[in-house]
């Protein structure tokens, strides 16, 4: 009995903390102020998405969600890499000089 | 037992994730935010996944969780390093309290494709301030810039100069004109420049009021010039340049929004941001 309560309460607290973290990252994405700031917040949101997929395993009992966590981690890494290349080639300096 | 372990790891992981996210939200500049995101994000996520594995313990679950954690540990530092490098190269401004920039001279900042030239700004860490030069560009952040410059000049007993520049070249560029439209294009140019003069007069007024209220001597220079090279000329030893965060010398009238930070870094003027707010003024040390 207590075991079940501990498990449910732990998962619930963790879910609330994760939600708060996602909101913080979301606010940073909206605020910017520069593109790299937004990309870092997006990368953070991807990492939180991995954690969210982990929470989905607890919530639904379907262990297949852990594969989704792997997939989200992969995609979020690729996103960060692509954005980094994009910024480095000069998204900030988009206007031509003279 | 596994239930208690699972709850512990879940809460610990989620709490670390929350700390990281608060860091991303609250830290003052891009590089610190990146450090918070990658550092604590990985640890928090890894702990949370261990908690999940304790909740449904089976060999293949443990293997998958181990793979996921190994992948996170492998990729997140790489992604963080790439993003930091990209941000530095693109010219994201450093926090105003930064004491040492060890990458200065190692990596190019600003314009990535052209060779690096002599780099004004940030050569000394505690410069003597003899002149405070304030760029009077109308737009968001000008109030913050004026009050910062006035406070700086008062603190150091420095000469306060307001630079009112009109970027006439950008304003004259009204884009392609159809055949027979030259008369209207000329009219449009004249109206834009007249409007820019009016806005600039308002900004100069704001500056004069603030300086008079603080009771310090000041002077205003009005000029019609290309802003960035002109600013660079004024930036000799002992002077500090203060610019509003979101405004440029088109006075908000160019058809595209001009970001002052990227303009400055394109002309290879190294800048810092004075404080963590979004409208904190840009500061350049001569």
Nearest residue, CB atoms, A66 vs list B68, B82, B85: B68
Using the Cβ of A68 and the Cβ atoms of chain B, whether some distance falls under 8 Å is answered with no
DSSP string, B123-186: SSSS----EEEEE---STTHHHHHHHHHHHHHHHT-EEEEEEEE-HHHHH------TT-HHHHH
Q: Give A-chain residues touching B44 at CB under 8 angstroms.
A: 47, 51
Contacts 24+ apart (CB under 8 A), A53-61: A54/B45, A54/B48, A54/B49, A54/B51, A54/B52, A55/A11, A55/A14, A55/A15, A55/A18, A55/B10, A55/B48, A55/B52, A57/B52, A57/B55, A57/B56, A58/A11, A58/B10, A58/B52, A58/B55, A59/A11, A59/A15, A61/B56
Q: Given pLDDT bands bounded at 50, 70 and 90, which one contains residue B174?
A: confident
B278/A93 touch (CB, cutoff 8 Å), yes or no? no
Which residue of B lies nearest to A90 if distances are taken between CA atoms? B90
Q: Looking at the complex, report in whole angstroms how far the Cα of residue A19 sits from the nearest Cα belonging to chain B.
A: 9
Looking at the partner chain, which of B76, B111, B278 has a beta carbon nearest the beta carbon of A47? B76
Q: Which of B34, B87, B262 comes nearest A93 by C-beta?
A: B262
Locate the chain B residue with the closest alpha carbon to A34.
B92
Residue A75 pLDDT: 92
Residue A92 has pLDDT above 60, yes or no: no
Nearest-by-CA chain A residue for B263: A93
CA distance A59 to chain B (A): 10
Predicted TM-score (pTM) of the model is 0.54
Residue B19 token pair: 């700390």
Cis peptide before B138 (omega within 30 of 0): no
Q: What is the ipTM of this complex?
A: 0.86
Per-residue confidence (pLDDT) for residue A15, from 0 to 100 = 92
Q: How do residues A1-34 score in pLDDT, each as one tens digit?
A: 688 888 888 889 999 999 999 999 999 998 877 7
| Residues 6+ away with beta carbon under 8 Å from A20 | B18, B21
Distance from CA of A1 to the nearest CA of B (A): 11
Is the pLDDT assigned to residue B266 strictly greater than 60? Answer: yes
CB contact under 8 Å between B14 and A18, yes or no, is: yes
| pLDDT (0 to 100) of residue A52 | 92
Contact B278 A31 (CB under 8 A): yes
pLDDT at B15 exceeding the cut of 80: yes
């Amino acid at each position: 009995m207590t075991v079940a309560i501990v498990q449910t309460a732990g998962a619930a607290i963790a879910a609330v903390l994760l939600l708060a973290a996602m909101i913080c990252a979301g606010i940073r994405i909206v605020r910017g102020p520069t593109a790299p700031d937004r990309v870092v917040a997006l990368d953070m949101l991807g990492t939180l998405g991995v954690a969210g997929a982990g929470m989905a395993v607890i919530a639904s009992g379907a262990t297949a969600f852990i594969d989704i966590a792997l997939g989200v981690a992969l995609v979020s890494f690729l996103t960060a890499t692509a954005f980094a290349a994009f910024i480095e080639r000069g998204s900030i300096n988009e206007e031509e000089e003279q | 037992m596994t239930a208690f372990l699972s709850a512990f790891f879940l809460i610990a992981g989620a709490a670390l994730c929350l700390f990281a996210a608060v860091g991303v939200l609250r830290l003052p500049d891009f590089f610190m935010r990146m450090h918070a995101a990658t550092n604590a994000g990985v640890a928090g996520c890894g702990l949370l996944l261990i908690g999940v594995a304790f909740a449904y313990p089976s060999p293949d679950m443990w293997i998958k969780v181990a793979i996921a954690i190994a992948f996170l540990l492998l990729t997140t530092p790489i992604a963080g390093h790439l993003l930091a490098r990209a941000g530095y190269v693109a010219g994201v401004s450093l926090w105003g309290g930064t004491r040492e920039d060890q990458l200065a001279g190692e990596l190019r900042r600003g314009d990535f494709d052209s060779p690096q030239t002599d780099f004004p700004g940030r050569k000394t860490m505690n410069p003597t301030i003899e002149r405070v030069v304030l760029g009077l560009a109308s737009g968001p952040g000008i109030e913050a810039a004026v009050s910062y410059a006035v406070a700086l000049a008062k603190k150091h007993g420095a000469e306060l100069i307001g630079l009112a520049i009109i970027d006439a070249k950008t304003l004259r560029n009204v884009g392609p004109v159809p055949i027979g439209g030259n008369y209207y294009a000329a009219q449009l140019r004249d109206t834009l420049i007249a409007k820019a003069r009016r806005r600039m007069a308002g900004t100069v007024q704001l500056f004069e009021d603030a300086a008079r209220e603080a009771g310090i001597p000041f002077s205003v220079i009005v000029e019609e010039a290309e802003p960035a090279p002109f600013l660079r000329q004024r930036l000799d030893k002992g002077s500090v340049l203060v610019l509003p965060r979101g405004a440029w010398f088109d006075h908000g009238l160019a058809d595209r929004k001009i970001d002052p930070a990227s303009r400055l870094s394109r002309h290879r003027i190294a800048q810092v941001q004075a404080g963590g707010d979004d409208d904190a003024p840009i500061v350049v040390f001569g």
